[in-house]
Structure 1
Amino acid sequence: MKKLIFAIIAVLLLNLNAQSQIPADSAKAPSGLRGQYEFMLSKSKTINGYKLINPGRLSGLWKNVADSLNTSRKQLGAVKLKLTEQEKTIAALKGQISGTETSLATSNAKLNEISFLGISFTKSNYNVIVWSLILVLAAALAIIILRSAKHIHEAKYRSSLYEEISQEYQSYKTKANDKEKKLARELQDERNKLDELKNRGR
């Protein structure tokens, strides 16, 4: 234990002695942190396996590290602020897009909607209903035309029958009239003969 304490004291004394022997740092260190670190290591001396570093160089490196950290923190804060603003902008744009999509959907629904007799239909349903009505009316018209044609044909047939019967009746009437006249003439002849016979008998 005593040997360990003596060894630590010896190292401290050697370090103090070495620091008192380090001259003032006149060399200019590179600008980057890595370059300053490597420069500091290259300028340090090794005694008994320990690196003796110039306190001025170490302080300069620490100051540069702190400045770099502060700059990075400021840049990070600025980036976070910008990111927050961009997120707000994105949220606002999403809201506008959502509103636009809703408006577009409403407009498309209105364009795709037809109002008839106070009832709203989509264009597809309206087209189906209209074409169904057209087909039904066309079928009804075809049935009416066919029935009308049938009735017209029946009427023409009955009219021709009536004409035929009328002609037959007229022919019969004429024949009957002729027969009646003939019979009347014959009857008159017979009467005349009878009158002549009566006159002769007197």
Structure 2
Amino acid sequence: MKRFILPLFAAICLLLITQVTFAQDTTKTDPSLSGQYQFMLSKSKTLYGAKLINPARLSGLWKNVKDTINTERKQLVASKAKIKEQQKTITDLKAQIEGKESSLASSNAKLNEISFLGIPFTKSTYNSIVWTLIVVLALALAFVVVRSAKHIHEAKYRSTLYQEIADEYQAYKVKANDKEKKLARELQDERNKLEDYKSRER
């Protein structure tokens, strides 16, 4: 029994010393897997063209490889979960944006709509109708003003013509009255002469 314990103890001590030495050696070199691999090759002896690798160094490298792979896997799982969460967030944001765009389009449609006499119109259509009515009414007003001006001019002409005729008639009346008075005087003179003549004959 003691025969087996002593060599086993010596082997364990040797293994621990080797691992400690390997750990100390690796701290002096590149800590990456590639650096550890190159360090292991540099510390290995060559025999007949083959490399004699220390099992402790190989075990340490393998452990580091597994640790690195496990770490990368955990990071990959975490990254996938984060990507999935971000995709969900993106989907939610897209849904919110679509809802807001739909709401904005509806609001714009309501803002762009005018109701007149219960009939809905877009602002452009309403403006077109209003401006058309304004132009038509302006043309009608211009037509009425032109026609009214023409009638006013005609009325002024006829009023002037009537005034001229009235003035001529008044002048004629005055002349006729003067002529009538003159004839009345002449008639009275003749009557007076006739009376004088009759009185003389008696």
Bigger drift between 123-132 and 177-186 goes to 177-186
State the 1:89 CA deviation. Answer: 0.4
Moved more, 163-172 or 61-70: 163-172
Question: Separation in 2 of the partners of 1:160 and 1:41?
Answer: 133
Following superposition, the deviation at residue 81 of structure 1 comes to 0.4
Equivalent residue, structure 2, for 1:132 = 132
Match for residue 166 of structure 1? 166
1:187 offset after TM fit, Å? 6.1
Question: Partner amino acid for 1:37?
Answer: Y
> What is the rounded CA distance, in whole Å, between the counterparts of 2:86 and 2:55 in structure 1?
45
Whole-Å Cα distance in 2 between the matches of residues 144 and 182 of structure 1?
56
The answer to whether the aligner puts 1:48 opposite 2:42 as a matched pair is: no
TM-score, length-normalised on structure 1? 0.71
- The letter of the residue matching 1:28 is F
What's 2:100 paired with? Answer: 100
What is the rounded CA distance, in whole Å, between the counterparts of 1:48 and 1:114 in structure 2?
98
Question: How much does 1:184 deviate?
Answer: 5.8
CA deviation map 1:77-125 (0-9, x unaligned): 0000000000110111111122222222222333333332333333344
User: Where do residues 32-181 of structure 1 align in structure 2 (5 Å cutoff)?
Assistant: 32-180=32-180
Q: Which amino acid aligns with 2:116?
A: F
Q: Which residue of the partner structure matches residue 28 of structure 1?
A: 22
Counterpart residue type for residue 92 of structure 1 = D
The DSSP-based 3-state class of the residue aligned with 2:22 is: coil
Matched with 2:4 is none
**Which letter does structure 1 place at the counterpart of 2:101?**
E
TM-score (norm 2): 0.71
Tell me how far apart the structure 2 counterparts of residues 167 and 43 of structure 1 sit (CA, whole Å): 147
The structural deviation recorded for 1:198 is 8.6
Alpha-carbon distance in structure 1 between the residues aligned to 2:22 and 2:174? 156
Aligned position for 1:18: none
Moved more, 112-121 or 142-151: 112-121
2:143 partner letter: I
Separation in structure 1 between the aligned mates of residue 193 and residue 43 of structure 2, nearest angstrom: 188
The share of aligned pairs that are identical, in percent, is 71
DSSP 3-state at the match of 1:164: helix
Q: What SS does the aligned partner of 1:28 have?
A: helix
- RMSD (Å), alpha carbons: 3.0
Deviation, structure 1 residue 183:
5.2
Distance 2:173 2:76 in 1: 129
Gaps of at least 5 residues in structure 1 are 1-22
| Partners of 1:104 and 1:117 in 2: CA distance | 26
Shift of 1:155: 0.7
Q: Is the 8 A contact 2:22 2:57 kept in 1?
A: no
